[in-house]
Copies of this chain bind each other. A is one copy, B any other.
Amino acid sequence: MVLQTVQSIEPMFHPKSVAIIGASNKNGKIGNTLLVNIQKSGYEGKVFPINTKETEILGFPAFKSILDVPDEIDLGVICIPSKFCVPVVDECGKKGVKTLVIITAGFKEIGGEGVTRENKIRELGKQYGMRILGPNCLGLITDGNFSFSSLTPKKGHIGMLSQSGAMMTGLLDWAVDNQIGFSSFISLGNKCDADEVDFIEYLAQDEQTKVIAAYIESVQDGEKFFKVVSEATKKKPVILLKSGRSAAGAKAASSHTGALAGSDIAFDLAFKKAGVIRAETISDLFNYCMTFIIAPIPQGDKFAIITNAGGPGIVCTDAMELSQLGIARFSEDTIQKLKEVLPAESNFYNPVDIIGDAPPERYEAATDILLQCPDSEVAGAIILLTPQAQTKPLEVAQKIASLHQKYPTKSLVASFIGGVSVNEASKHLTQGGVPTYAFPEDAVRVLKGLERYKDIKQAPPITKKKIPKINVNKDRVREIISNARTDGRVVLLSYETSEIFDLYGIKNPKSRLAQTARDAAKIAEEIGFPVVMKIVSPQIIHKWDCGGVVLNIQSAQDAKNAFIQIMSNAKSKGPSGADLRGVEVQEMIIKKDKKKINELIFGVNRDPQWGPMIMVGSGGIYANYVKDVQFELTYQYDRTDALNQLQQTKISKILEGVRGEPRSDIDGVLDILVRLSQLVNDFTEIIELDINPCLVFEAESGYSAVDIKITIKH
């Protein structure tokens, strides 16, 4: 499967022959620009312009139809008007063209006939086994510049994807100015066939590509993304800039649960799960790329600062602490060595201040000592420099670059603060393999990125995780859901929810439906007093408001009375014509029997791209105001994920037992999380699920999911 994708799009990267369908002699036409770009970019394969009228274009013999070309075609580039595209794609298929790029716009993005056209093209691609990039894109730059961007960046090791053509133009322009090299640059367009994930899969195994970067606005298929990207990130860093946060935020989900989330959270979680490094800004994207291309991944997580000035040292320390980048603590031995080479006024602790008059030799000596340290003590260093009277920035840069050669596994970054006096030195140092920035904060940010990638690379791939499952009578759950659907209900009745929870082993108060007063008394006796009784009717949402709830029922007689009273209240005060199914008799939790009670909230909603997202946190009536909840996607979700998620809530510490209180039933909480995760993955019909509150007791006393709700698809 993996191989298939790679093989099928390979011809886009290394085409032996290219046909330009819509090639033109007219300056200014896209079909002309394309051919010029291919020529100028030094593409060495065969080029076949296709044009119904011309016989030669820019020196290449032209053909009337792709079918006339006397050779195999690896890559077809289509730039004819959209209305002619479908038959031409069909011809390409017949010809056996291996891959296609459709530059032409006028498809899905215009709606109507555009959508139909795009669907036809997708089908033709599938029919002929011909992978398609686009339509509505700028093209791609691989072995040649097969795009209508006139700028061809230099060859390098960044594989870049862009879902926005304009963004690609801007990025290319900027990259050319900043001498940044690419292994490939791909404009994704409408993604009618090949999408970001396919290209990430290709780039992950492409030897020319050391870093994969992309600007994206959406992801087509969350599960495919997880499968491919979580493996790709083990091979090389994948850095994504994803926009549309605010639009996503606006799509406030309707439910209680969702009200606390926004689907940008889902993207954040998905990227984390897949090991993607998320760029916050465009410049972030490039800074990460440039750093990952040249700097080694650190072998430890603590770093030294070497500076010739106190102020920048403090700024850098601040930035490290704020981004939680480890600040090295030197051993006595290291401090002793530093004392031997540095003036007495220096600071020998981190940040190492080698004083304003530091010559290049002093930078070298101090850095050498620190890079000699074991990785556990110093995994790398940030070199800071301000151009003072005796400072020789270029010589310092040369010395540091040599040390980078001497200690190639240590992560080194630098900030030479200044302009005229340090520009040349900064460039020299960056070219020497030490990414150098004007300000310390940027140096810290990229080093933190390197350090994060170390953890990403080390973590076992999520696809390899075995998720244990409990045995459940799924048929019964299916039956309950199907009954509700037959009834036209989207919210399950509480005793139905209760039964599903029982089937999945999630403890909740015993609860059954009584249809007569006598029933109620009998059920209450079986459950054990006290009980709570509540009206059951699909039409009655606010049960309290119509007198549909009676608490603390202590005897069979009281249960009978309560039944009659609830039914009569519901009839008189409930919505007229409400379908009264009976009364739910529910076990009542006796709070004074418990040493400790905390209220938790759980919830699940379904993200359109990433699937079920599970929530846990502080519950109770104030849950929406306290906002102490954490989210996680349920893809490959296990007990460890559940624990990590729980530990990010504030209530987690309280459950562990503080201020002399006992530990709560944390195992039970984790149970709920993994079981809910299984439930919503077993039944995609469930679109929303809430527990609030779930009463969690001291460890030996368990928990009880008191108030539960399941919403299913229409």
User: Could you tell me the distance between the alpha carbons of A439 and B387 in the complex, rounded to whole angstroms?
Assistant: 28
Q: Does A622 contact B (CB under 8 A)?
A: yes
A259: shortest Cβ distance to chain B, in Å?
A: 14
Of the residues B151, B246, B387, B654, contact of A169 by C-beta under 8 Å: B387
User: Could you tell me the distance between the alpha carbons of A164 and B315 in the complex, rounded to whole angstroms?
Assistant: 11
User: Could you tell me the distance between the alpha carbons of A247 and B349 in the complex, rounded to whole angstroms?
Assistant: 14
Q: Tell me whether A318 and B167 are in contact (CB under 8 A).
A: no
A572: shortest Cβ distance to chain B, in Å?
A: 22
Q: List, in ascending order, chain B residues with CB within 8 A of A246's CB.
A: 317-318, 320-322
Q: Does A311 contact B (CB under 8 A)?
A: yes
Q: Of all chain B residues, which has the CB nearest A321?
A: B246
A412: shortest Cβ distance to chain B, in Å?
A: 20
Q: Does A430 contact B (CB under 8 A)?
A: no
User: Could you tell me the distance between the alpha carbons of A150 and B421 in the complex, rounded to whole angstroms?
Assistant: 11
With A387-B169, A622-B654 known as contacts, the answer to whether A243 contacts B174 (CB < 8 A) is: no
Which A residues between 582 and 630 are near B, CB-CB below 8 angstroms? 621-622, 624-628
Q: A176-B419, A247-B317 are in contact. List 4 more A-B contacts (CB 8 A).
A: A164-B310, A246-B321, A281-B441, A282-B440
Q: Does A566 contact B (CB under 8 A)?
A: no
Q: List, in ascending order, chain B residues with CB within 8 A of A417's CB.
A: 167, 170-171, 173-174, 282
Q: Of all chain B residues, which has the CB nearest A317?
A: B246
Q: Of all chain B residues, which has the CB nearest A622?
A: B654
Q: List, in ascending order, chain B residues with CB within 8 A of A162's CB.
A: 311
Q: Tell me whether A311 and B386 are in contact (CB under 8 A).
A: no
User: Could you tell me the distance between the alpha carbons of A173 and B162 in the complex, rounded to whole angstroms?
Assistant: 37
Q: Tell me whether A177 and B309 are in contact (CB under 8 A).
A: no
Q: Does A389 contact B (CB under 8 A)?
A: yes
Q: List, in ascending order, chain B residues with CB within 8 A of A282's CB.
A: 315, 417, 438-441
Q: Does A658 contact B (CB under 8 A)?
A: yes
Give the interface of A toward B (CB within 8 A): 33, 148, 150-151, 162-167, 169-178, 215, 217, 241, 243-247, 249, 281-283, 308-312, 314-315, 317-322, 356, 386-389, 417-423, 438-442, 621-622, 624-628, 650-651, 653-654, 658-659
User: Could you tell me the distance between the alpha carbons of A38 and B171 in the complex, rounded to whole angstroms?
Assistant: 45
Q: List, in ascending order, chain B residues with CB within 8 A of A387's CB.
A: 169-170, 173
A329: shortest Cβ distance to chain B, in Å?
A: 13
Q: Tell which of A386, A626, A659 has the most Cβ of chain B within 10 Å.
A: A386
With A169-B387, A622-B658 known as contacts, the answer to whether A217 contacts B311 (CB < 8 A) is: yes
Q: Tell me whether B621 and A659 are in contact (CB under 8 A).
A: yes
A111: shortest Cβ distance to chain B, in Å?
A: 12
Of the residues B177, B249, B438, contact of A420 by C-beta under 8 Å: B177
User: Could you tell me the distance between the alpha carbons of A658 and B626 in the complex, rounded to whole angstroms?
Assistant: 12
User: Could you tell me the distance between the alpha carbons of A423 and B628 in the complex, rounded to whole angstroms?
Assistant: 47
8 example contacts (A-B, Cβ-Cβ < 8 A) are as follows A166-B310, A166-B311, A167-B311, A169-B309, A170-B417, A173-B418, A625-B651, A625-B653
A156: shortest Cβ distance to chain B, in Å?
A: 15
Q: List, in ascending order, chain B residues with CB within 8 A of A174's CB.
A: 417-419, 438
Q: List, in ascending order, chain B residues with CB within 8 A of A169's CB.
A: 309, 386-388, 418
Q: Of all chain B residues, which has the CB nearest A283?
A: B439
User: Could you tell me the distance between the alpha carbons of A659 and B693 in the complex, rounded to whole angstroms?
Assistant: 14
Q: Tell me whether B283 and A314 are in contact (CB under 8 A).
A: no
Q: Tell me whether B173 and A318 are in contact (CB under 8 A).
A: no
Q: List, in ascending order, chain B residues with CB within 8 A of A320's CB.
A: 246
Q: Tell me whether B321 and A419 are in contact (CB under 8 A).
A: no
Q: List, in ascending order, chain B residues with CB within 8 A of A164's CB.
A: 309-312
Q: Of all chain B residues, which has the CB nearest A148?
A: B389
Q: Tell which of A314, A419, A423, A659 has the most Cβ of chain B within 10 Å.
A: A419
With A281-B441, A441-B281 known as contacts, the answer to whether A249 contacts B321 (CB < 8 A) is: yes
Q: Tell me whether B318 and A170 are in contact (CB under 8 A).
A: no
Of the residues B33, B151, B283, B423, contact of A438 by C-beta under 8 Å: B283
Q: Tell me whether B439 and A166 are in contact (CB under 8 A).
A: no
A351: shortest Cβ distance to chain B, in Å?
A: 11
With A164-B310, A169-B386, A174-B438 known as contacts, the answer to whether A315 contacts B243 (CB < 8 A) is: yes
Q: Of all chain B residues, which has the CB nearest A311?
A: B164
Q: List, in ascending order, chain B residues with CB within 8 A of A172's CB.
A: 418
Q: Tell me whether A177 and B622 are in contact (CB under 8 A).
A: no
The 6 lowest CB-CB distance pairs between A and B, nearest first, are: A177-B419, A166-B309, A164-B311, A173-B418, A170-B417, A246-B321
User: Could you tell me the distance between the alpha carbons of A389 and B172 in the complex, rounded to whole angstroms?
Assistant: 13
Q: List, in ascending order, chain B residues with CB within 8 A of A148's CB.
A: 389
User: Could you tell me the distance between the alpha carbons of A356 and B650 in the complex, rounded to whole angstroms?
Assistant: 48
Q: Tell me whether A654 and B628 are in contact (CB under 8 A).
A: no
Q: Tell me whether B418 and A321 are in contact (CB under 8 A).
A: no
User: Could you tell me the distance between the alpha carbons of A441 and B389 in the complex, rounded to whole angstroms?
Assistant: 36
Q: List, in ascending order, chain B residues with CB within 8 A of A651's CB.
A: 625
Q: Tell me whether B311 and A243 are in contact (CB under 8 A).
A: yes
With A281-B441, A389-B148, A625-B653 known as contacts, the answer to whether A163 contacts B420 (CB < 8 A) is: no
Q: List, in ascending order, chain B residues with CB within 8 A of A389's CB.
A: 33, 148, 150
User: Could you tell me the distance between the alpha carbons of A309 and B281 in the complex, rounded to whole angstroms?
Assistant: 17
User: Could you tell me the distance between the alpha carbons of A315 and B241 in the complex, rounded to whole angstroms?
Assistant: 10
Q: List, in ascending order, chain B residues with CB within 8 A of A319's CB.
A: 281
A167: shortest Cβ distance to chain B, in Å?
A: 4
Q: Tell me whether B243 and A314 are in contact (CB under 8 A).
A: yes
Q: Of all chain B residues, which has the CB nearest A280?
A: B441
User: Could you tell me the distance between the alpha carbons of A311 and B164 in the complex, rounded to whole angstroms?
Assistant: 6
Q: Tell me whether A151 and B386 are in contact (CB under 8 A).
A: no
Q: List, in ascending order, chain B residues with CB within 8 A of A321's CB.
A: 245-246, 249
Q: Tell me whether A650 and B621 are in contact (CB under 8 A).
A: no
Q: Tell which of A170, A283, A627 has the most Cβ of chain B within 10 Å.
A: A170
Q: List, in ascending order, chain B residues with CB within 8 A of A659's CB.
A: 621-622
User: Could you tell me the distance between the alpha carbons of A58 and B120 in the complex, rounded to whole angstroms?
Assistant: 85
User: Could you tell me the distance between the alpha carbons of A314 and B651 in the complex, rounded to whole angstroms?
Assistant: 36
User: Could you tell me the distance between the alpha carbons of A425 and B663 in the complex, rounded to whole angstroms?
Assistant: 64
User: Could you tell me the distance between the alpha carbons of A421 and B169 in the complex, rounded to whole angstroms?
Assistant: 10
Q: Tell which of A174, A175, A320, A422 has the most Cβ of chain B within 10 Å.
A: A174
A70: shortest Cβ distance to chain B, in Å?
A: 33
User: Could you tell me the distance between the alpha carbons of A155 and B633 in the complex, rounded to whole angstroms?
Assistant: 56
A512: shortest Cβ distance to chain B, in Å?
A: 29
Q: List, in ascending order, chain B residues with CB within 8 A of A33's CB.
A: 389
Q: List, in ascending order, chain B residues with CB within 8 A of A653's CB.
A: 625
Q: List, in ascending order, chain B residues with CB within 8 A of A244's CB.
A: 314, 318
With A33-B389, A176-B419, A315-B282 known as contacts, the answer to whether A167 contacts B625 (CB < 8 A) is: no
Q: List, in ascending order, chain B residues with CB within 8 A of A419's CB.
A: 173-178
Q: List, in ascending order, chain B residues with CB within 8 A of A171's CB.
A: 417-418
A544: shortest Cβ distance to chain B, in Å?
A: 9
